[in-house]
Structure 1
Amino acid sequence: MAKKSRTKARETTTPGEVGPRQPCPCGSGKRYKACHGAPGGPAATFVNRPFEGLPSECDVIALRELVPAGTAPLTLKDGVTGSGRAVTLCSLLPMAAPAMVRDSGEVWLGLQVQHNFGDPARDLGAVLTKALEQAERGEAGIVGLTGDPGEGPRLQDLVEGGTLDVTVHEGFDYWIADVDDRDGMAAALEQANEAAAPTAKLTSVESAYWTNVGTKEHLRWVMPEPEDRLLDALARLHAAGKDDIAPGSRLVGMFRAHGLLAPVWDLPVGTGPEALEEPAAQYAADLAAALADDAPLTPEERSARNGLANRQLTIR
């Protein structure tokens, strides 16, 4: 009798899909097969691209995953509770609060919160709804989400607009900009500011952010194109030697976050964001041309594509 092979069949995934042994994109720290991919588990609620359809989807992802201190005003749709009330989307709130109703009645919604319920847009929608209702009652304070919100509006159902007007702050001083008594938050503010790496949003292209982490500088650029098409285009530029963003820069890989890719370049210390504006605009034009190229990849381009695909890190 022939011996049974001890080699298990390799698990395969399609591009953009999460493998069963990969970390679950919900941020729980578990493998996907033991979390949102578990039989009978919460897989039905997992949304691979939760922010699709939001104004400036790529910037929302950047604020949630890459930018330490950033804000953007949101416009509520007509008919939503509190329509017309000032609402600000924030990268991070004090104590990582999901939302806050300020003394002024303004609502702040925090992005860097991990609820692990499978659909961040639904979770944000639930938190925003609670915060708006609390604001309508005239109650200031923190708003949280203690359990799976179940069915309800997603953030896309509550807000409208074409693009977000993102402001990247040097630190978290905006937390206390409208507070008279600032002494109680001084220690927390100092600690948060010390941990915030200097970051700037490029103005010549969409959703590209420079950051300085001390020993290196990086450019991290969230891109909206489907993963397969984008990888092909990035590979064409890499094979052609057209992916240098600045002298001494290097495309080192990419994040996969909330269904989109964010290529990452290492930059020499001292580069700064201003030096990236013109080459980033040129790269965007070259990328658009590469995205429009339907010709089969050459052997060199296929090799470049494989190398890029192997340098991906899924963070959500």
Structure 2
Amino acid sequence: MAKRTAVKTKSADGVNPRQPCPCGSGKRYKACHGGAGGAADVIVSRPFEGLAAEAELIALREFVPAATVPLPIKDGAREVVLATVLPMAAAALVRGDGTAFVGLQVQTRSGDLSRDLARAVQWALTAETGDALPIVGVDDGTNPGRLQDLLDTEAGLSPELHTDFAWWMPPGTEPSGEVQLSLERANAAILPTERLDAPGVFAAYWVDAGDKAHLRWVRPEPEERLLAALARLAVRSEHDLGEGSRYAGSFRAHGLLVPVWDLDRELHSSEWAGPAEALGKRLQDALTSLDDEPLTEAERRARDGLRGRQITLR
């Protein structure tokens, strides 16, 4: 009987089916973009990985109500502004004054939020004044770029937060019809939110939830390492922000962990910047110490307790 000979073939794109998919999902090409369903069937759990702005993008996607920030597009002939929410939850639009916006809190059409956003950005780069993209269409594989392909990966983001959605309209323009209704609904749903400004503090937001205030801080570290560092601080009672604060738990969002602290809402948001900076330094020291000092039994118990106070967002 003749021996079966393994033949390595390449796809029409020139990619070996057994090699990692170029999209960065971590799957083999044949199980990702080379499969029958293409990108639509692949869930990318960490869509912004590789971007310096990853933590800020997650915050803007998940819990910041009203914010805008110009995107650091490589070789972009037009400025595109990233927005948390656009009128009627549009994927993108070009305002009457020619300003191009892309919405982040939108319905996704594939398992890779980065791909969907990249396609909205590419639409915004060439759209005309007054155009709107209600939703990114089904990905048919003809435009496979991701946000990482379009942006300067080393650039961070410093979002501008707004108290309402008046910026949806060009200055001096009054909304009407469906836009007016959408504006009123959006304004009514806003929770007062402030971005903490302190050295070494990024993607940390004070949120007034009504009965109490919170600090939500998107952290870039791997989950297990971050939990271990928090546990090390917890056994010393150093994992909060001082008087008037309490560690409440954490949630996972797009591959990163977001610790949450309950705060005394009688204090102004700016009064938590200093405590957040101090906590950040303690946390960094604890992270560094993990390289030389394994967790003690008490710290392992504390880590298990912290792990039990987590939820996952998609």
2:137 maps to: 146
Letter in 2 for 1:145: V
Query: 2:309 maps to what in 1?
Result: 311
Contact 1:68 1:91 (8 Å CA) reproduced: yes
Determine the C-alpha separation between the residues in 1 that align with 2:286 and 2:195: 24
**Deviation at residue 131 of structure 1 after TM alignment:** 2.3
Asked whether 1:94 is paired with 2:92, we answer no
State the match for 1:256 in structure 2: 252
TM-score (norm 1): 0.81
Give the Cα separation in 2 of the matches to 1:59 and 1:70. Answer: 11
Residues 1-316 of structure 1 mapped to structure 2, 5 A cutoff: 45-78=42-75, 83-134=76-127, 138-143=128-133, 144-150=135-141, 152-160=144-152, 162-178=155-171, 180-184=173-177, 185-204=179-198, 205-293=201-289, 294=291, 295-316=293-314
What secondary structure sits across from 1:88 in the alignment? strand
- Aligned-partner Cα distance in 2 for 1:109–1:239: 44
Q: Which runs of 5+ in 1 are unaligned?
A: 1-35
Q: Tell me if structure 2 keeps the 8 A contact 1:246–1:276.
A: no
| Matched positions, count | 272
Structure 1 window deviating more from structure 2 (150-159 vs 208-217): it is: 150-159
In 1, Cα distance between equivalents of 2:286 and 2:41: 36
Partner letter of residue 73 of structure 1? P
- C-alpha deviation, 1:84, in angstroms: 2.8
- The alignment-based identity, stated in percent, is 46
Q: Secondary structure at the match of 2:71?
A: strand
TM-score between both structures, scaled by the size of structure 2: 0.81
Q: Aligned partner of 2:229: which letter?
A: A
Deviation sequence 1:85-138 (CA, Å, 0-9, x none): 12101111111111112223321011101214111001101111122232xxx3
- Mapped to 2, the partners of 1:313 and 1:229 lie a distance apart of 17
Q: Name the residue aligned to 1:9.
A: none
Displacement of 1:199 in angstroms is 0.1
Q: Which moved more, 1:170-179 or 1:97-106?
A: 170-179
Structure 2 unaligned residues grouped into runs of 5+: 1-31
CA deviation vs aligned residue, 1:234-267 (integer Å, no higher than 9, x gap)? 1111111101214231111101000000000111
**Does structure 2 conserve the Cα–Cα contact (< 8 Å) formed by 1:123 and 1:149?**
no
Q: 1:72 to 1:217 in 2, by over 3 A?
A: same
1:185-212 Cα distance to aligned partner (Å, 9 max, x none)? 3332222111100000000111100000
| Paired residue secondary structure (1:140) | coil
Q: Residue in 1 aligned with 2:9?
A: none
Q: Is the 8 A contact 2:40 2:139 kept in 1?
A: no
Partner-residue secondary structure (3-state), 2:244: coil
